[in-house]
Amino acid sequence: MKAARLVAYNQRLRLEEVAEPEITGPHDVIVKIGGAGVCHTDLHLIQGVWAETLGVDLPYTLGHENAGWVHAVGAAVTTVQVGDPVIVHPVMSCGTCLACRRGEDMHCENLVFPGLTVDGGFAEYLKTNERALIKLPPGVDPADVAPYADAGITAYRAVRKVAPLARPGTTAVVVGVGGLGHIAVQLLRELGNATIIAVDTHEGRLGMALELGAAHAVRAGEKAVSSVRSLTGGRGADIVIDFVGSDVTHRQGVEMLRKGGTYSIVGYGGQLSVPSLAMINNEFTIVGNLVGNYSELWELMQLHAQGKVKLHTSRYALDEVNAVLERLEHGQVNGRAVLVPA
Ligand SMILES: [Zn+2]
Ligand SMILES: [Zn+2]
């Protein structure tokens, strides 16, 4: 089968013929990929940002935002059958460690992460396990929902954590209205009551944010902090969710907060530095977010089925992966790009 593989850091992915994955364990499932979302994490993986943390050997196939159809199942699999349309929770968790028993799939002590630590879904077939799968209703095209598997679930987890704080009269800022941010705006609208301010560099994405529920759109840049302050009567925002995670957005995100405010980090790569005096004097809360749990993906799929959250996607052939990554790097993707194997 054809797969887009990371062969060396800071190089384009290589499209290669590789062997199809095979069932080796009783709980294994092979999924025929219907669509695989392209994520900023793919850019970070190519740049080697994760190299030390993950400690994996190259080459391997990227793609951690997957949906498709069950193609083959291990002997013990009972909850899905060949042919079922499924969305794939991004990690293969073990189900027996304490973290798994607490429902914290991302903290699993035996975590396997296709697309980060083993072969992912920028290919025709993906190997995962039964625990990772959520069946899609009949008639749902996997390529249309694949971005929920990472962009969606991550936005959901971040918004769910701050939703109790998003009371009437509060303000929530979404920094970066791309693949995750455009979902977060809708989730804040559905799960909270805050006035939503969207911040982005791109006019088109700001327009989309206003359509999806943001009350105000602010151009990213040096004036972003003063704009948020003036929109909040000088007090600052109660909640800032940062989907960019650069040095600049980290600094500005904290500067946008009011006293008692919460700064929630989803995008990454920068360095966050906050004086401890500011932390105690303002009683700030800083929250990190890593993808989300199986149950959170399930809940998000219910919101999708109810028509309460919509994805903005554009489809590309798997062959176009490098061009898509380049467009993503230059901020030229509106919503989420999804690769579809031929
Ligand atoms: Zn991702
Ligand atoms: Zn586990």
The model's pLDDT over 280-291, given as tens digits with 9 standing for 90+, comes to 999 999 999 999
Task: Please report the beta strands in 58-194, taking only residues with DSSP state E, as ranges in sequence order.
Answer: 60-61, 66-73, 85-88, 125-129, 133-135, 171-175
pLDDT in tens, 49-79: 999 999 999 999 999 999 999 999 999 999 9
Name the fold adopted by 154-288: Rossmann fold (3.40.50)
Ion ligand 2 residue ranges (Cβ < 5 Å): 93-94, 97, 100, 108
Which pLDDT does position 335 carry in this prediction? Answer: 84
Percent of the chain with pLDDT over 70: 100
Ligand nearest to the CA of 110: 2
H or E segment to which residue 162 belongs = helix 151-162
Helix H or strand E encompassing 229: helix 224-231
pLDDT band at 254 (very low <50, low <70, confident <90, very high): very high
Ligand positioned closest to the Cα atom of 93? 2
Q: Which ligand is nearest to the CA of 114?
A: 1
pLDDT for the residue 139? 81
303-337 confidence digits (pLDDT tens): 999 999 999 999 999 999 999 999 999 988 888 99
Q: 93 falls in which pLDDT band (50, 70, 90)?
A: very high
- Structure-model confidence comparison of residues 320 and 137, the more confident one: 320
How far, in Å, CA of 232 to CA of 225, rounded? 11
What is the average per-residue pLDDT within 227-245? 98
Residue 257: C-alpha distances to residues 171, 234, 240, 328 (Å): 10, 10, 7, 29
Residues 47 and 57: their CA atoms lie apart, in Å, by 14
**Distance from C-alpha of 205 to C-alpha of 319, rounded to nearest angstrom:** 26
CA of 283 to the centre of ligand 2 (A): 34
Tell me what pLDDT residue 226 has.
98
Ligand nearest to the CA of residue 104, numbered in listed order: 2
* Rounded distance from Cα 17 to ligand 2 centre (Å): 32
Q: Is the pLDDT of residue 138 over 90?
A: no
Ligand 1 centroid–CA 180 distance in Å is: 9
Q: H helices of 105-216, where?
A: 142-145, 151-162, 181-191, 203-212
Spans of all domains in the chain? 2-150+292-340, 154-288
Please tell me the distance between residue 151's alpha carbon and the centre of ligand 1 in angstroms.
Answer: 6
Closest ligand, as measured to the CA of 152: 1
For the chain, the first-to-last Cα distance in angstroms comes to 10
Burial class (CB in 10 A: 0-12, 13-18, 19+), 117: middle
pLDDT at 134 over 90: yes
Gap from CA of 15 to ligand 1 centroid (Å): 20
Name the residue type at position 223.
Answer: K
CATH code of 2-150+292-340, in short, is 3.90.180.10
Per-residue confidence at 9, pLDDT binned at 50, 70, 90?
very high
Give dist(CA 246, CA 251) in Å, integer: 9
Query: Which ligand approaches the C-alpha of residue 180 most closely?
Result: 1
Among the bound ligands, name the one nearest to the CA of residue 108: 2
Query: In this model, does residue 243 exceed pLDDT 90?
Result: yes
d(CA 184, CA 201): 17
Q: What's the CA gap between 69 and 30, in Å, rounded?
A: 9
Specify which residues 66 forms β-bridges with.
36
Distance 147 CA to ligand 1 centre (A): 9
Beta bridge partners, 307, equal: none
The bound ligand whose nearest atom lies closest to the alpha carbon of 129 is 2
Please give the distance, rounded to the nearest whole angstrom, from the Cα atom of residue 108 to the centre of ligand 2: 4
| Distance of CA 103 from the midpoint of ligand 2 (Å) | 9
Distance 336 CA to ligand 2 centre (A): 30
Strand-pair partners of 129: 28
What is the biggest distance separating any 2 CA atoms in the chain, rounded to whole angstroms?
62
How much of the chain, in percent, has pLDDT values that exceed 90? 97
Q: What is the pLDDT of residue 126?
A: 98
Average pLDDT for the chain: 97
| Nearest ligand for residue 63 CA | 1
Closest-approaching ligand to the CA atom of 292: 1
Taking the centre of ligand 1 as the mean of its atom positions, its distance from the CA of residue 241, in whole angstroms, is 16
Whats the size of the chain, residue-wise?
A: 342
